[in-house]
């Protein structure tokens, strides 16, 4: 069955929202496969965010992701990739729909990067690639 990589970013962990976020994913019906809390490294993030290298928000994004621990999880279920991204909401938390993780828990804090609580893989190829990066 399909799998996706979910990250609870440093803002979500620091605000003690990890349990609430994981509970929403489980409540929708997806199954937890792997779970860990880790400090990312610059090398790991360079691989994870390779598609964004060179963009104006890349360096602030990496600095943000290095600012504290993250929770990495693998969830599985039919269509979990699009299902999780629907639960997460759109990238900008200010306008993400209420009812989504980003829409309910996130806002613009006036910083250089959008602190939007979660990451989810956006395709089967990226899920496979990202799971290898975060889980050995
Ligand atoms: P992820 O699940 O984290 O990959 O989010 P996404 O797929 O909704 O967004 P994307 O992959 O395009 O960008 C990765 C991350 O970079 C986002 O989650 C934001 O934290 C940040 N980001 C993306 N676009 C912008 C932008 O235009 N400005 C700023 N400041 N940050 C951005
Ligand atoms: Mg993305």
Domains of the chain from N-terminus onward = 3-134 (3.30.70.141)
Q: Is 86 in the pocket of ligand 1 (CB under 6 A)?
A: no
116 annotated ligand binder: yes
**Chain segment 115-135, per-residue pLDDT in tens:** 999 999 999 999 999 999 999
Q: Is 113 in the pocket of ligand 1 (CB under 6 A)?
A: yes
In the structure, what pLDDT confidence band is assigned to residue 32 with cuts at 50, 70 and 90? very high
User: How far apart, in whole angstroms, are the C-alpha atoms of residue 9 and residue 128?
Assistant: 19
Instruction: Inform me whether the pLDDT recorded for 41 exceeds 90.
Output: yes
> Tell me, what's the ipTM?
0.89
- What's the pLDDT at 112? 87
Please give the share of the chain, as a percent, with pLDDT higher than 70.
Answer: 100
Instruction: Inform me whether the pLDDT recorded for 72 exceeds 90.
Output: yes
User: How far apart, in whole angstroms, are the C-alpha atoms of residue 57 and residue 59?
Assistant: 6
User: How far apart, in whole angstroms, are the C-alpha atoms of residue 50 and residue 48?
Assistant: 6
Mean per-residue pLDDT, 68-83: 98
In the structure, what pLDDT confidence band is assigned to residue 90 with cuts at 50, 70 and 90? very high
- What's the pLDDT at 85? 98
From residue 136, how far is each of 33, 36, 129, 131 by CA, in Å?
14, 12, 11, 8
Q: E-assigned strands of 9-114? A: 31-38, 70-76
Residue nearest to atom 2 of ligand 1 (CA): 119
Mean per-residue pLDDT, 19-29: 98
| Contacts (Cβ under 8 Å, ≥6 apart) of 8 | 17, 18, 21, 22, 70, 71, 73, 117, 118
């Amino acid at each position: 069955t399909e799998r996706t990589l979910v990250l609870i970013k440093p803002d979500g962990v620091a605000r003690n929202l990890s349990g609430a976020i994981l509970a929403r994913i489980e409540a929708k019906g997806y199954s937890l496969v792997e779970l860990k809390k880790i400090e990312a490294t610059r090398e790991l993030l360079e691989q994870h965010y390779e598609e964004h290298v060179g963009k104006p928000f890349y360096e602030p994004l990496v600095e943000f992701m290095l600012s504290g621990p993250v929770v990495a999880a693998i969830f599985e279920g039919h269509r979990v990739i699009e299902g999780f991204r629907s639960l997460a909401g759109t990238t900008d938390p200010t306008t993400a729909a209420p009812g989504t993780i980003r829409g309910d828990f996130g806002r613009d804090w006036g910083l250089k990067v959008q602190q939007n609580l979660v990451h989810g893989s956006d395709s089967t190829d990226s899920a496979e690639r990202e799971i290898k990066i975060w889980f050995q």
